[in-house]
């Protein structure tokens, strides 16, 4: 071995040894830190389990824990699992210890994006009305996840001031985040309906909107199920965009009144089969006998989903079961099949003698 290589080998071996020692030390420290965190968490769980059942608590002891992130995580986990008086006790602890304001400070001033995300998520769990202004401001945060978490927190507070900026965010966010914002609007409930309905009405020129989220807005209104949205949904049902008509027809099943039945009956003749399928389903949810004849005709539709939904709708409407039985003699094979399938699913298939000669398979299945 050349004498010149000896110093190089010494350096390599020494460096390798130091790196190995550092990795070993890091692993050992991480292991003990994890064990210590688990120990503290177990201690906090025991303490909080006792505290939530009491109206008072040793504040001086809790103050020494308040700076520990493990305690904060444990507290938030408890908030997710308790209700009523126990939850109220924990919320009072969080306020008295300044935990709520600490998360507000992180949300408003921290430069670390992960801190702001955690803060917004924590404030959603804490549900303190005093945080509403900070959460409204966070809807303009440059980090999408902060905006989404702030939206969820505001939805939990039922703050109506959140509705206009959330509707605006629908247009600006990616498809995935827009769907999460939509879930927050559903969570806000009926306070969202006036703004969303005004946004949806196609004939309202005062609303500034590109329109690509109109189907999503219709879905939100259907999920909320408030009949105050019916005029806007009827307007959307007459729109030019197929996806919007699909969502509007579906939403009228839960957010409509008997006044929407004629419009849904007309929609059963829509050129788009998806609209027809949702319209007949909505008619079933309305359970209006006026729709029976239209639904019988829909049993003959060329699309299977329309026929299937029409049969399901007839099974829900007074007088519809008889229409399904009568459809066993329909000249259209599609109508016979759709009606028969629904009768079998409901356990209402007529006796074998009432079926035609071409129904051998059904007789065998029965």
* Number of structural domains the chain divides into: 2
The CATH number covering residue 192 comes to: 1.25.10
How does DSSP assign 220-273, residue by residue?
Answer: HHHHHT-GGGHHHHHHHHTSS-HHHHHHHHHHHHHH--GGGHHHHHHHTT-SSH
Angle at 353 between CA 349 and CA 355, to 5 degrees: 60
Q: Identify the DSSP state of 4.
A: T
Q: What's the CATH number where 342 sits?
A: 1.25.10.10
Q: Please indicate, yes or no, whether residues 251 and 282 belong to a single structural domain of this protein.
A: no
Distance CA(200)–CA(198), nearest Å, equals 5
**Based on the domain organization, do 281 and 341 belong to the same domain?**
yes
Confidence of residue 62 (pLDDT cuts 50, 70, 90): confident
Residue 260 lies in a domain: no
Question: For 187-222, how does the pLDDT look when each residue is reduced to its tens digit (9 = 90+)?
Answer: 999 999 999 999 988 655 455 555 678 999 999 999
| Digit-coded pLDDT (tens) for 236-285 | 999 889 999 999 999 999 999 999 999 999 999 999 999 999 999 999 99
pLDDT for 99 equals 87
Structure tokens at 74: 């444990």
What pLDDT score does 181 carry?
A: 96
**C-beta atoms surrounding 226 within 10 Å:** 18
- Can you read off the two tokens belonging to residue 64? 């020494």
pLDDT value of residue 34: 58
**247, 289: one domain:** no
Q: For residues 308 and 248, state if they share a domain.
A: no
Inside any domain, residue 226? yes
User: Do 249 and 194 belong together in one domain?
Assistant: yes
Q: Are residues 195 and 251 in the same domain?
A: yes
Question: What range does the domain containing 343 cover?
Answer: 276-347
User: Do both 284 and 245 map to the same domain?
Assistant: no
Q: Is residue 140 part of a domain?
A: no
pLDDT at residue number 222: 96
Residues 303, 248 within the same domain: no
Q: Is residue 337 domain-resident?
A: yes
Check residue 3 and give its pLDDT. 65
Q: Which of 339, 340, 331 lies closest to 366, judged by CA?
A: 340
Residue 76 forms part of a structural domain: no
What's the pLDDT score for residue 44? 74
- Say if 366 falls within a structural domain: no
* Residue 13, domain member (yes or no): no
Whether 248 and 290 map to the same domain: the answer is no
Prediction pTM value: 0.77
> Would 264 be classed as within a structural domain?
no
Q: Are residues 243 and 301 both part of a single domain?
A: no
pLDDT greater than 50 at residue 363: no
């Amino acid at each position: 071995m050349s004498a010149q290589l000896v110093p190089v080998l010494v350096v390599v071996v020494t460096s390798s040894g130091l790196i190995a020692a550092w990795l070993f030390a890091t692993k050992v420290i991480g292991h003990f830190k994890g064990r210590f965190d688990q120990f503290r968490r177990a201690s906090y769980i025991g303490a909080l389990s006792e505290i939530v059942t009491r109206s008072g608590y040793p504040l001086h002891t809790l103050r020494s824990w308040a700076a520990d992130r493990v305690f904060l995580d444990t507290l938030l986990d408890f908030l997710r699992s308790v209700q009523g008086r126990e939850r109220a006790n924990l919320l009072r602890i969080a306020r008295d210890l300044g935990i709520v304001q600490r998360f507000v400070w992180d949300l408003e001033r921290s430069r670390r994006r992960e801190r702001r995300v955690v803060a917004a998520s924590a404030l959603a769990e804490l549900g303190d009305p005093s945080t509403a202004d900070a959460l409204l401001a966070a809807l303009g945060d440059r980090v999408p996840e902060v905006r989404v978490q702030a939206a969820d927190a505001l939805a939990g507070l039922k703050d109506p001031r959140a509705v206009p900026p959330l509707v605006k965010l629908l247009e600006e966010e990616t498809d995935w985040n827009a769907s999460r914002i939509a879930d927050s609007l559903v969570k806000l409930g009926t306070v969202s309906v006036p703004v969303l309905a005004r946004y949806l009405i196609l004939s309202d020129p005062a609303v500034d909107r590109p329109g690509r989220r109109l189907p999503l807005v219709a879905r939100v209104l259907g999920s909320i199920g408030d009949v105050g949205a019916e005029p806007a949904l009827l307007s959307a049902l007459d729109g030019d965009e197929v996806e919007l008509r699909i969502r509007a027809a579906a939403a009228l099943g839960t957010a409509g009144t008997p006044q929407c039945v004629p419009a849904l009956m007309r929609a059963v003749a829509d050129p788009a089969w998806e609209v027809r399928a949702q319209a007949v389903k909505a008619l079933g949810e309305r359970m209006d006998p006026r729709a029976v004849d239209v639904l019988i005709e829909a049993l003959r539709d060329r699309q299977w989903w329309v026929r299937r939904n029409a049969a399901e709708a007839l099974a829900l409407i007074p007088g519809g079961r008889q229409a399904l039985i009568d459809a066993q003699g329909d000249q259209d094979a599609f109508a016979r099949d759709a009606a028969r399938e629904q009768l079998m699913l409901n356990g209402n298939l007529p006796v074998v003698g009432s079926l035609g000669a071409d129904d051998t398979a059904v007789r065998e299945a029965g």
